[in-house]
Structure 1
């Protein structure tokens, strides 16, 4: 019997596991890095152990520290969650060597699937369909997909369509794989255009029973990482489903799998090919839980205690869709964002698996996922509608997110028709435009209501020569509005837009104003009446778009570059980001070097225009 469980993870998945511990009378032990000292998962756990440091390499990737924390807190089992060391056979062995129960498959099974190169060979031998493997040193035909051998989540993965790009992308994929998984090994596969990413949830006990708990469609991705997942897949019929389940069960049985895991495939038409086995709980497991009525974390714990699965697999019912809400800017190459999350509220009849709450700080050290929002309904259309409405009505203040993109996808005709594939976002334009004027007017009225002398708005006159004005920044655009201070009201401002009364909910945080309405959500910056003088950047200066580490410098001082040429590469929030020249010219100053830490706004280089 597991009495006390150390959760070797953080954020959303740690909170998710704590919920199941609470429901089953198991004491939950959290671990935390210094940036996570006040995180929700730390407060919600029964006990918490500090891991000194900030970066994953100093904290959540230190197997010896995690085992030491478990022993110190009196835990008798360890759950790795997902990511970090969840698929590290060495960590699993260290847990077992300390006399603790490992909640997951055996170290041998993890090791067998830990190298995707070796895993593909093993699956082919078991009769599971696979794509041919290409040696990176001898690739001659394109397009190809470069993949990290030791991990997933889009890290170390690149699509290369032309030979001229291959060496650069290969080096970048190896660096990212080394940083994320401690192993730079990569391999290549032929790229399947317009294919679907479909996976099967498996659950196996130590007594020979293996469940295939339906398939999940995970085709809508950015940076090769899923952002919309659903079950069942709209593309899978009964015959294909039967073959998928048989292949997944064969994969599990070929390695003696025990616990929860996922077998991933690429599906094109009715043909599918093996991708990998994720020897852990998946991020998207909630959609399976809702459709099959099971608690996968509870079953992981019960199986680790030796329990047997019932012989009959549960029956599915209805449809579930999950979206991953990220602190990132889809319009700016998915650039991740960090900062304080002033307000975080998602209403409606949806499941919210979140690692954050009001006041949480989105750190530069970790993945920028804020939460998973999941809707369940009898039909796929009903689930999509319920989920889109909940996202539209959410209050998310303080950092930019992909919320509007997710709403637009869920409302899209092609998505609703089930016409999706891994290139879906590249083929569809989800650029969202909004008129900032009514938002600025609502902000001005709410702002005026907070500046009063007695019952009169500040600046009120019996006889006015003109209406008062307010100015805001909407991105780089300056918006000016005139308003009647007698109409000022706090909180919710109702405007008449072409005969339609429309509420605008206004919240101010210093000089930032967040405005939410049925027309969308907008962030505005107050333009002060008497702005402070600002330091001027040199013409051609390129600044860091976010805090990060310089992992490659691609130019030297004096080099001639074209507009769009790569100047350097920053690593931030577990991904690499290319910094490009905005103009053609000469690199007159290069102010950084490899391995240097930079802050957002730091000048990195100066390109003097030709």
Structure 2
């Protein structure tokens, strides 16, 4: 009987497991690194144990430290969550050797499937050996872990060595294992998976299918259940293969078998021996709590002979602090306000006032909508995202809304190349032209008490902002009656928090919030610009500035000051939020300055290098 549980993880998965624990009367213990000392998962647990340090290798990837924390806190069970040590057989053994209950599959099953190379061998498959031009395109893939880390698509043979080196480095950082392999890359396939649940009495449930084809950097962004449009024979085949994989390793607990589907052909990818980020869509469709089922299985209870009947459709979107238009660059800073409509399920590890740091994955939350039909679920989720209040760093919210409403997605014709084809169009700015005026009028409201209007005609008040990466300027005037006016717009109401404008007979309201120079007018994010720009903030043409805080992990071979470089050539790599980000030459020319060295910590806007254009 589990009475006290330690979750060997962080963020939204730890909070989600704690929620089930509270419902079941199980006492909870969190572990946290130093940057996570005030994180939501550490605050909501009944007890929390510090893991000294910041880097994952020193904290959430230190199996011995976590087992010691569980013993010290009096836990009698450990749940690994997902990511970090969730697919580490040695960690599972260490938990069992300490006399604790392991809420997961047997170490032997993890060992058999945690390495994708060994899993393929078990399923009668093998990775590619020596790669030739005829094999292209290929996918370099980390043997351990998941979440898109340690994966690179290679379309030119000359890029293979660089891709292997980069993937190894990223995999070692994220999973503590730098092993990678190469397999054929299937263009325009669908990523489809089967959730399984297995007990210790020989029962294995295949819990429908999930489609996870909308991906960036091979990491899922939108998931749904059931996978739409699959022929019944193909669905049956996927279920059969998933159950076969589970039985092959005497699997116990919750797991996922993943496939790439091209036409009516299913290609085995891997088996994840853990809970998946997208498990809520399966829970919604089957009316289950998979975490609660994991606890029951760990306590020895048997599953019924058959799973519950599937009902309706569920869609999940992952909300990230990132800029999709700038190569998905992660964003950091204070999350001032975060609120989501009650119409959808919210799994998150953040709340108002939390800081989004550089050490971990930039996912803020998962929003899940369930409805009788797919069309209704999609509409419900898109509306909830649009109505959410997210004040803080830039997120992928607008991209998610646009993706959910894209014809290729709504008609279920999507595949894993969706963002390769549509990202530019989906991230094309569609700024609200009245948002800057609303921001300016809200800011001017309090100032009007200090004599904004003058008896002598004068120039209008001018405010400058950046919005969607572009600079914009608005003008307004104070009236004799103490109000505000702007050309072409009727100001119905204006105070510091609410502005109502009427344009061509259409009235719209704007909720405005300001945090220093950062302003939010409804869903539009603006940055107020100073009246007189700081000349010291200017950089020479060709300057490469750090797009995020992080660590310089390596500089490309042969790249030194004075070297000739080509436009698009990789110069160096930054690591932030457990992923590598490539910095390339903006133009062909001469590298006149290189200020970055491996191991160097940089902040946003740090000058990394300067490339002088060659005429």
The two structures have a TM-score, normalised by structure 1, of 0.95
Q: Deviations over 1:31-71 (max 9, x none)?
A: 11111111111111001001111111111011011000000
What's the CA shift for 1:265? 0.6
**Does 2:26 match 1:26?**
yes
Could you tell me which residue of structure 2 aligns to residue 443 of structure 1?
A: 439
Q: How does 1:329-368 map to 2 (within 5 A)?
A: 329-368=323-362
Choose from 244, 254, 257 the match for 2:248. 254
Q: Residues 467 and 535 from structure 1, CA distance in 2 versus in 1: closer, same or farther, beyond 3 angstroms? A: closer
Is the Cα–Cα contact under 8 Å of residues 214 and 231 in structure 1 kept in the other structure?
A: yes
Choose from 572, 583, 587 the match for 2:576. 572
Could you tell me which residue of structure 1 aligns to residue 4 of structure 2?
A: 4
Could you tell me which residue of structure 1 aligns to residue 380 of structure 2?
A: 386
Could you tell me which residue of structure 2 aligns to residue 490 of structure 1?
A: 496
**Does 2:476 match 1:474?**
no
Is the Cα–Cα contact under 8 Å of residues 143 and 159 in structure 1 kept in the other structure?
A: yes
Could you tell me which residue of structure 2 aligns to residue 557 of structure 1?
A: 561
Could you tell me which residue of structure 2 aligns to residue 144 of structure 1?
A: 138
**Does 2:261 match 1:267?**
yes
What's the CA shift for 1:119? 0.7
Choose from 513, 518, 526 the match for 2:519. 513
Secondary structure of the residue aligned to 2:500 is: strand
Could you tell me which residue of structure 2 aligns to residue 608 of structure 1?
A: 612
Counterpart-to-counterpart distance in 1, 2:313 and 2:406:
18
**Does 2:536 match 1:522?**
no
The answer to which of 326-335 and 166-175 deviates more is 166-175
The two structures have a TM-score, normalised by structure 2, of 0.94
Q: Deviations over 1:217-237 (max 9, x none)?
A: 000000000000000011213
What's the CA shift for 1:589? 2.0
Give RMSD over aligned pairs.
1.5
What's the CA shift for 1:203? 0.3
Counterpart-to-counterpart distance in 2, 1:475 and 1:242:
46
Is the Cα–Cα contact under 8 Å of residues 343 and 359 in structure 1 kept in the other structure?
A: yes
Counterpart-to-counterpart distance in 2, 1:296 and 1:89:
21
Secondary structure of the residue aligned to 2:508 is: strand
Is the Cα–Cα contact under 8 Å of residues 209 and 311 in structure 1 kept in the other structure?
A: yes
Query: May I ask how many residue pairs the two structures share in their alignment?
Result: 597
Secondary structure of the residue aligned to 2:434 is: helix
The answer to which of 549-558 and 107-116 deviates more is 549-558
Counterpart-to-counterpart distance in 1, 2:531 and 2:171:
49
Q: Deviations over 1:58-93 (max 9, x none)?
A: 110110110000000000000000000000001000
**Does 2:55 match 1:38?**
no
Counterpart-to-counterpart distance in 2, 1:531 and 1:587:
28
Secondary structure of the residue aligned to 1:36 is: coil
Q: Residues 261 and 139 from structure 1, CA distance in 2 versus in 1: closer, same or farther, beyond 3 angstroms? A: farther
Counterpart-to-counterpart distance in 1, 2:133 and 2:45:
50
Counterpart-to-counterpart distance in 2, 1:348 and 1:495:
28
Q: How does 1:114-153 map to 2 (within 5 A)?
A: 114-124=114-124, 133-135=127-129, 141-153=135-147
Could you tell me which residue of structure 1 aligns to residue 270 of structure 2?
A: 276
What's the CA shift for 1:133? 2.0
Could you tell me which residue of structure 1 aligns to residue 591 of structure 2?
A: 587
Name segments (4+ residues, structure 1) moved above 4 Å.
136-140, 530-533
The answer to which of 572-581 and 360-369 deviates more is 572-581
Could you tell me which residue of structure 2 aligns to residue 127 of structure 1?
A: none
The answer to which of 529-538 and 31-40 deviates more is 529-538
Counterpart-to-counterpart distance in 1, 2:542 and 2:235:
56
Counterpart-to-counterpart distance in 2, 1:136 and 1:105:
34
Counterpart-to-counterpart distance in 2, 1:47 and 1:139:
56
